[in-house]
Structure 1
Amino acid sequence: MKKATIILIVLLSLIKVTNAQDSKISGSWLVTKIVVGDQVDEPLFVIDYRADGSIITQGIDVGSWSHNQKEEKLIMSSDMDKDFGGDCKIMNLNQKELNFEKGDQKWFLSRLNMDEIAKNNSESGLIGSWKFADEENTDVTRVLIFEAPDSFSFIEKEPGMEGRTGGMWIFNPKEQSLLLIGRIDQIGGKNKILTISKTELVLENAGVETVLLKSEANSQNIERLTFTEADFFDANGDYKYDGEENKLPWTDPFEMLMSLVNTSQLEYNFSTLVEGTNVFETKKLTADVKTDKEEQSVSIDFIFYGYDRYNLPDETELPPNVLDFNYYNRLYPLQENSFRVAGQEKLTTPSGTFDCTVIESVGTSEEKYKLWMINDKPGVYAKIIEDKEGMFGHYYMYELNKIIEAK
């Protein structure tokens, strides 16, 4: 009995020693370099050697590992990726570094202190959305979103296409550097921080500077519309706002004609909210205005689909938008919408400050609208918000940028 007890104690001691040694390997490691002959690659990806013997990278369980302490080998096995399979001769192992030879490859890994990374990241002032200040290519919107404790998302959007990737970020306050681990052009890898403030981040990567602007300081105000179609009907299903038409500032089609007779174009800033951010991509839309006093006709280009006659998508025609004087559309140029008057508001846009009647409206496909009708400029909206929730939803905003007079 005594002999058996001694053997058990020895076995437990060996288990404790093995666990203590394995703890030198278990944890998160950044692969900084892989050398094959005279070729050096800096892949910069993270490997988690879990205490349960699994290998995790990019959130995927790719295999298993064990530590042969006697021969100083890291033994990896993987049916998914040959890079995570085979016997590796450990050349250096301590609390900060792990270097091993795997065939003709030499791997260099640095241990990541995840608690320290989380602390530094949280105190960096970077958490939030940043928009690339790319003045040369206005058709492309790029947004970098830093999230706690250490993940980032990168969104690149251009007409007809949107790409999203992600990865890990590490802020080093001592070095004033930012490491981005993941697929991201221009600033992937290690960046030197040249400027960091509440509104601007300037990075240098391989000698190239990149400027990012904090979206909270540069984006338009986001007002999500919370009313629903049900709000327009009473308990019996009857429409509650039949008398609202009398409150509208535009009630006379001839008054609209005379108001617009000297106007040739209306220019709007059209902004689309990039999903998952508080960043907008913005472009200008121009609505041509045509009036004829003799024929008593008014036409304003319908640009509220997000395009104008000067940048029409392929095989797309601009919707006709001629005012019918026999049937005056109360919310011209919108059609057949239920609406209610929400009040009066003085609104400032890039075109100026206007006294407006504010309208709330619902469309036929679950769209919700908020419209600012300029009281003394019939036919001209100062601002329109279109908000649609759901998987295929969107958030659009139109702001009057300029009223161009006829020459």
Structure 2
Amino acid sequence: MPAVELRALWKEFDGVAAVRGVDLAVSEGELVALLGPSGCGKTTTLRMIAGFEIPTRGGILIRGRTVSGPGQFAPPERRDAGLVFQNYAVWPHMTVEANVGYPLKVRGVGAAERRSRVLQMLDLVQLSGLGDRYPHQLSGGQQQRVALARALSKEPAVLLLDEPLSNLDARLRKEMRIEIKTLQRRLGITIVYVTHDQEEALSMADRIAVMGQGVVHQLGTPEEVFERPADRFVAEFMGCTTFLPCEVAGPNRVRLLLGAEMPCVFCPLAPGAAGRGVVGLRAQDVRLASDGADTLAGHAELRTYRGGSFEVLVGIGGQAIPVITDTPLAEGSAVRLALTRLYFFPETRDATMSGRANKALLASTSASAALDTSTANDG
């Protein structure tokens, strides 16, 4: 039985759909990240799970119990869910101990048992000895730990985290990612985690649901979502910054349509793939090359320093292709590039089509797959 199950979940605001038919099952002890840009529906989905929004239609089950459905709606306090917000929401007039123990106090847990549980939670989140402090005496990272401890103190069936690290600096975000993942594994807790940060989702989640325009475009492990994006939307959100027009030139070959430059390069394709589309690539999947097959000729147009390396935009056939290199290429110099990993997407009328529709299309006409140099040479 899933810890959390969403069935054809739908939410409209003034007739505009914010969430459209989301299906999702989260297993016990699993961390699933809802990942997407602002306005994609991820936070609305989380708020429906928490009970802060009533679905327009569809159902929500927590450990097999329907908490939202036709004629059924359990308020937040009856959902057995803990929630941590982006802004921490710790009570400034309460000490750390009082904040963490408040959910237990509301449930009628006795003072002795409550304090024992609070001390256990503070130890878990590395705040032992700080129970008498007030929030204004804590750092942002410590306040977020208080919010986590408070949410965990009542041992919820699921922990809901809504952009919990976005107010922290880069160093603290990295530390808290490790702490949350360590806690999840240590306690075996189920987490639904909302974020717009790809690195956060990739480093923490067991599975990622990439959302856009209210639908789940792809659900899979971090490796699956990053290495085999289901459609162009997912590829772009997961770091493909460049998309080049192309047409299928044969089995596992595409012709890049770059003005006068129309080179053929290796690209994994599904059997029977045909017609035009685009190939997506990331800067780290491009390298400098000498003359040879499957290389492109261009000129360095813009160089920026990244700290230990340079990102150079190379102009080829009216397109700017990024490459990361240790070589400080002079702007205007002639270079050749090898594209070591490509993702092919067929031409469609709607580049932001839903994951369900695109999945069916991809199954018959295209593939998005990783290409490493050794595979290319074997081909």
Report the TM-score when normalising by structure 2: 0.26
Which has the higher Rg, Structure 1 or Structure 2?
A: 1
Considering fraction of residues, name the structure with more strand. Answer: 1
Structure showing greater relative contact order (alpha-carbon pairs closer than 8 Å, 6 or more residues apart): 2
Considering fraction of residues, name the structure with more helix. Answer: 2
Report the TM-score when normalising by structure 1: 0.25
